[in-house]
Structures are given as C-alpha cells and as structure tokens.
C-alpha cells in the first residue's frame, strides 16, 4: 500500500496520514460517479481533503505530483509513498480543522465492511441490493441506449438463469435441445465498451433493478476495488484477484440462488493484453488468474455474472474478448438523442425549429469542429452551466441560454486523444 507522508519545508517528515493513497483514490472515484465530476478533479479534492483532515494545507503544485503518482499506481508500478510539503497549519476551530474534517469524511464517505479479508484491504468499493428505487430512477434517465439496455437484460437473464432456456426448449421443442448446452456453457462475462461518458457505468450500476423485477428475486451487485491490483509485489495481484472472486463465490452460495453481479470498471487495467512486451510478469499472472476464475464460475454454475467496463477495448487481452458472452458497444449520442436529452430536462421550453436545430448543432461535430458531446457532457456539464447562468442573472432558462452554454464548452476528448 502507498503511504501518504507530510513533510515540512525543509523536507523533514511531520506525520503519516492514516489512510493510504489507494483508499483516497477509491473514495475519489466514488465521489466522481456520485457528483458527476471528472475523476481527476475528484482526486484533486480528495487528496487536499485528506491533508486538511490532518490539520495542514498544501498548494496546487503539490497536487500535480500526487496525480502523477496516482497514474503510476494505475499502470501497476509500485509507489512506496506520496509526499506533500505542507504550507502551514489550519487554525483550530476552522471549517477544515482536523476534528471537523474527520466528521465530514465519515458522513460523506461511508466505508464498507472489511470482513471479506484479513489484510484490511477492501476488495469492493460498492455493494447494492436490488430492486432499488434510486437505481430505477437512474436506469430510466438513460436515453438513447435502449438497444444496449435490452441486450444486457436478456444476456444476464440467460446467463444467470440457464434453466429458463431449458424450460423454453421443452415448451417449444418438447425436449431439451443439445444447443441448450451451448448456451449454458458460455462464460458469464459481459463487456461494455466504447467512448467515455456514454452511460456504460451508470447502466451497469442500475441494471440490477429491472433485472431483479424481471427475475422476481433479489439481485446483488459488488463493484471491485482498483486496490485489487496490489502494489506490484510478486504474487500479490494474483492472490488478491483470487480472494476477491472467492468472496463473490461465497456470497453467491450464501444467497440461496439470488444472482450476484461482479462489476469491474476500467477492466483494461486488470485484463490488458499479455502479448505486450513491456507488460510486467505480475500483470500477466493476474490476467491468467482472472480468466481462470471466470472459467471456474462457468464450471460451478454459480449465479454470478461478471461485467467488464472499458473505454479501451483494443487493450483487452484476446482471451478475455473470446470468452465474453456478449460485447455491447456504446457511442456518443446522435442528434436525435441529444434533442431528447434537452426535451426531457426542459419540457416547458417546447424546444423546436431553428432554436433546437442550433442547439443540437452546437453539441455536434459542427459545433466545435471535432467531436459530439457525450451524454454526460450534456447532463453533467452543459445543463448545470445553463442553470447557473440563469440563476445568477435571475432569469428563466431559455433555448438561447443553452446554446450559449454549449458554444462556450468543449466536449470531453476521446480516450485516445487524452
């Protein structure tokens, strides 16, 4: 684990923070999904908050060093510590004093139970039980990906309840067709791939609600923690992946047949191509273990489905792609979907004609000369910007407000352009 150490201006160590860099990263990523901010901005805020909790302050230039270290962690490199040079203590009793800051972090970032392991490492950063009203709301908000929704629901139903295929075969063919064995022997793996900000993670985290209603039982979701990569020590990543899957298998057995979804976001960081010459042997061993544990789920017929999410499908190991029961592609919203997003969020504007056409154009390729806006660009950035503009001017939101906000904004670049 990577320590967070505070130094004075002369380079001497003042203290070590109680939480590790990996824990800060996990909390930051969860906040990013909850608030709709970028992961980088959430990381920036999370590190500053952790340091302030200890009663100190740091400059923005110090943060750049921390973010570079986080990038190294994500690439699998071992980083013993992240060190900050503090620039003065925060006065006692202020809003960010240690006592107050600790309370804020406990309220905003509840941690999950660590009973699944004996090392203190949290394998899972999120656990959900469905049906879930909040998930139902988010699932309903996803516009323009109806095909992806229905494909994912059908595949999960067939993977988690193979007996339903046998029932269908008996009803329509008066026997269990040999082809049914092909369906039941598929690896319980789905890959959601495509551009950033197009709804992959939100769909994966909300699909459990309609799935639970469709199957008539509870559905559980466990989201794996990026800490499962480990710190680069020989055998560590392999051991952590095995323990995480063991925890999932145990949960599936205890749940009396209730399905469990195992979600792995940014899956390319765990399952990248083993053929790459620069790939560390520990990463290759980790991919091997990942494949073995997915195959084990298939052999043991446990009601578990693994969902991989990636913005870089070309980086996934070919054996992972071959095993996937289905790969579901996500693209940036077209003109029709972008128009629907504005209609849904501002039904009273009666957007139509030239104004709507100009708004749709401003969020398309012709609006900025390069890329269409992603769905999250519109819902998490553009619309809030338009509301803030109208709030400050004490006026109602209009089509012109939205157009002005769109013209002042650049879409999220594609992952290959970052």
Does residue 373 sit within a domain? yes
* pLDDT value at residue 106: 32
Q: Are residues 156 and 268 in the same domain?
A: yes
Does residue 64 sit within a domain? yes
Does residue 177 sit within a domain? yes
Choosing from 273, 301, 330, the residue where a domain stops is: 330
Choosing from 72, 89, 106, the residue where a domain stops is: 89
User: How far is Cα 4 from Cα 43, in angstroms, rounded to an integer?
Assistant: 14
Q: Are residues 316 and 176 in the same domain?
A: yes
Does residue 97 sit within a domain? no
Q: Which candidate, 226, 209, 311, 296, places its Cα nearest to that of 261?
A: 209
Choosing from 312, 330, 348, the residue where a domain stops is: 330
User: How far is Cα 96 from Cα 41, in angstroms, rounded to an integer?
Assistant: 19
* pLDDT value at residue 196: 87
Q: Are residues 379 and 236 in the same domain?
A: no
Does residue 197 sit within a domain? yes
User: How far is Cα 187 from Cα 180, in angstroms, rounded to an integer?
Assistant: 14
pTM of the model: 0.69
Q: Which candidate, 257, 126, 256, places its Cα nearest to that of 204?
A: 126
User: How far is Cα 241 from Cα 244, in angstroms, rounded to an integer?
Assistant: 5
User: How far is Cα 262 from Cα 244, in angstroms, rounded to an integer?
Assistant: 10
Q: Contact at 8 Å (CB) between 165 and 182?
A: no
CATH no. for residue 167? Answer: 3.40.50.300
Q: Are residues 187 and 243 in the same domain?
A: yes
| Mean pLDDT in consecutive groups of 10 residues from the start of the chain, 418 residues | 78 77 74 71 81 75 74 68 73 42 33 36 76 94 95 96 94 94 92 93 96 95 71 61 86 88 88 66 78 90 94 90 94 94 90 90 77 92 95 94 93 72
Count of structural domains, the chain: 3
Q: Are residues 277 and 386 in the same domain?
A: no
User: How far is Cα 378 from Cα 274, in angstroms, rounded to an integer?
Assistant: 37
By residue range, what is the domain housing residue 270? 124-330
Q: Contact at 8 Å (CB) between 188 and 294?
A: yes
Q: Are residues 203 and 56 in the same domain?
A: no
Does residue 183 sit within a domain? yes
Q: Are residues 219 and 136 in the same domain?
A: yes
Q: Are residues 24 and 159 in the same domain?
A: no
Q: Contact at 8 Å (CB) between 22 and 1?
A: yes
* pLDDT value at residue 119: 37
Q: Parallel, antiparallel, or unpaired for β 13-16 and 3-7?
A: antiparallel
Does residue 380 sit within a domain? yes
Does residue 99 sit within a domain? no
Q: Are residues 12 and 149 in the same domain?
A: no
Q: Are residues 312 and 173 in the same domain?
A: yes
Q: Are residues 219 and 340 in the same domain?
A: no
CA distances from 300 to 139, 154, 230, 253 (A): 31, 21, 27, 11
Q: Are residues 344 and 280 in the same domain?
A: no
How is residue 144 annotated by DSSP?
S
């Amino acid at each position: 684990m990577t320590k967070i150490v505070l130094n004075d201006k002369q380079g001497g160590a003042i203290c070590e923070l109680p939480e590790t860099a990996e824990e800060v990263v996990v909390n930051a990523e969860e906040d990013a999904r909850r608030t709709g901010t970028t992961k980088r901005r959430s990381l920036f805020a999370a590190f500053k908050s952790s340091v302030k909790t200890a009663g100190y302050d740091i400059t923005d230039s110090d943060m750049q060093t921390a973010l570079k270290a986080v990038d190294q962690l994500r690439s699998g490199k071992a980083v013993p510590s992240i060190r900050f040079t503090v620039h003065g203590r925060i006065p006692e009793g202020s809003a960010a004093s240690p006592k107050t800051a600790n309370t804020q972090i406990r309220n905003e970032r509840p941690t999950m139970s660590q009973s699944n392991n004996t090392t203190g490492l949290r394998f899972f950063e999120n656990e959900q039980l469905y049906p879930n009203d909040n998930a139902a709301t988010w699932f309903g908000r996803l516009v323009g990906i109806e095909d992806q929704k229905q494909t994912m629901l059908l595949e999960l139903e067939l993977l988690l309840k193979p007996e339903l295929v046998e029932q269908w075969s008996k009803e329509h063919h008066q026997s269990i067709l040999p082809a049914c064995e092909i369906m039941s022997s598929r690896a319980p793996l789905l890959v959601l791939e495509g551009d950033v900000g197009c709804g992959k993670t939100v769909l994966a985290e909300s699909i459990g609600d309609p799935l639970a209603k469709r199957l008539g039982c509870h559905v559980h979701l466990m989201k794996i923690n990026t800490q499962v990569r480990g710190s680069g020590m020989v055998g560590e990543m392999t051991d952590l992946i095995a323990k995480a899957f063991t925890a999932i298998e145990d949960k599936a057995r205890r749940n009396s047949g209730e399905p469990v979804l195992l979600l792995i976001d940014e899956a390319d960081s765990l399952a990248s191509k083993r053929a790459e010459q620069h790939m560390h042997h520990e990463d290759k061993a980790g991919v091997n273990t990942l494949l073995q544990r997915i195959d084990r789920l298939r052999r043991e017929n446990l009601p578990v489905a693994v969902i991989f999410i990636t913005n870089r499908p070309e980086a996934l190991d070919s054996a992972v792609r071959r095993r996937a029961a289905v790969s579901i592609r996500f693209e940036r919203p077209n003109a029709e979907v972008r128009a629907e997003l504005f209609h849904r969020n501002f039904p009273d504007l009666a957007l139509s004609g030239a104004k709507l056409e100009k708004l749709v154009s401003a969020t398309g390729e012709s609006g900025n000369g390069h890329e269409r806006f992603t769905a999250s660009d519109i819902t998490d950035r553009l619309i809030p910007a338009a509301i803030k503009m109208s709030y400050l001017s004490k006026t109602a939101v209009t089509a012109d407000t939205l157009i002005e906000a769109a013209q002042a904004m650049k879409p999220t670049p594609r992952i290959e352009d970052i």
